């Protein structure tokens, strides 16, 4: 069941990838298109690329942004789209063809007004409001992503997003995870970590805890276990090591920038289950 909205927009997250072979992206902006009116809008923050504002790399990013007619405004390197030159088809084409330093995620639908969708996805994927010391990706951001996606698929689904779910085991205290998806029966259990943390032991410690905890509780639930990890430049080997660790415990590891797509798929599954 879909709620009544003013329209449906499509958005693409723009990523800067310093080394395409190692594929360690940094989200630097979003571009949004209103499929009903054809209007487009976007916000960029080039400081998220961690590239000094001099030299060829920064100039390259600026040229790509400029090709989308996104003039600079404000003091935080924020860009606003000046006229409706971007289309949903162009976003799809950019996703397919931009595979080097600047990449675009596949356009995804998001019901709502153009400006609201722009600001919402910008704060989720580029400049999270709840970053904290653990990096841009955190439990509060993950909760916001899943709640938003579920709410827009069907407002009744939002209650399925449960922060800090407890799973009981016989003969001991319950295990408490970051996020649970379910309503009476758990569908998915989620933990979150960030390789952007200044203390690089912390994401590995969180992953190790998730593995041991899931080994203890997996017989108590039929839920799927996910660990979303925010990637960071120069940390691909750590990401791969975490993924290898988790495989032995039955925990699937995914980059945090795939969380919105996962949330969309889970919302569809839950709607079909309700039907």
Q: Where are the domains of the chain?
A: 8-125, 139-274
pLDDT at 134: 41
What whole-number distance in Å separates Cα of residue 261 and Cα of residue 95?
15
User: pLDDT tier at 135 (50, 70, 90 boundaries)?
Assistant: very low
Q: Between 215 and 233, name the one with better pLDDT.
A: 215
The two structure tokens encoding residue 69: 């007619």
How would residue 5 be classed by pLDDT, with cut points 50, 70 and 90?
very low
pLDDT of 56 reads 65
How far apart (Å, rounded) are the C-alpha atoms in residues 238 and 184? 35
H or E segment and range at residue 252? strand 252-255
pTM: predicted TM-score of the whole model, two decimal places: 0.59
Q: Which residues pair with 68 in a beta bridge?
A: none
What is the predicted pLDDT for the residue at 67?
64
Q: How confident is the model at residue 57 (pLDDT cuts 50, 70, 90)?
A: low
Does residue 6 carry a pLDDT above 60?
Answer: no
User: Residue 2: its pLDDT value, please?
Assistant: 38
With respect to CATH, is domain 139-274 assigned 3.40.50? Answer: yes
Range with the poorest average pLDDT among 81-90, 190-199, 226-235: 81-90
Coil vs helix vs strand at 8: strand
Nearest to 1 by CA among 267, 188, 180: 267
Whether the Cβ atoms of residue 197 and residue 203 lie closer than 8 Å to each other: yes
Rounded Cα–Cα distance for residues 184 and 275 (Å): 17
């Amino acid at each position: 069941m879909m709620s009544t909205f003013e329209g449906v927009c499509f958005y693409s997250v723009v990523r800067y990838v310093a080394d395409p072979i190692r594929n360690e992206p940094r989200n630097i902006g979003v571009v949004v298109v209103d499929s009903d009116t054809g209007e487009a809008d976007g916000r960029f923050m080039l400081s998220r690329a961690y590239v000094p504002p001099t030299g060829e790399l920064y100039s390259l990013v600026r040229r790509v942004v400029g090709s989308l007619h996104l003039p600079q405004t404000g003091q935080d390197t924020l860009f606003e789209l000046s006229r409706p030159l971007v289309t949903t088809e162009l976003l799809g084409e950019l996703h397919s063809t931009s595979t080097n330093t600047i990449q675009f995620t596949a356009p995804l639908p998001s019901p709502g007004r153009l400006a609201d969708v722009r600001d919402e996805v910008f704060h989720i994927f580029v400049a999270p409001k709840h970053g904290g010391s653990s990096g841009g990706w955190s439990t509060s951001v993950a909760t916001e992503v899943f709640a938003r996606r579920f709410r827009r698929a069907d407002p009744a689904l939002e209650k399925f997003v449960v922060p800090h779910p407890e799973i009981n085991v016989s003969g001991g205290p319950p295990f408490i995870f970051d996020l649970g998806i379910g309503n009476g029966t758990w569908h998915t259990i989620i933990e979150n970590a960030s390789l952007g943390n200044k203390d690089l032991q912390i994401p590995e410690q969180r992953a190790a805890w998730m593995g041991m905890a899931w080994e203890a509780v997996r017989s108590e639930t039929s839920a799927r276990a996910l660990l979303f990890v925010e990637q960071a430049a120069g940390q691909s080997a750590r990401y791969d090591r975490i993924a290898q660790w988790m495989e032995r415990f039955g925990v699937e590891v995914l980059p945090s920038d795939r969380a919105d797509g996962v949330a969309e798929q889970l919302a569809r599954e839950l709607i079909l289950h309700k039907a």
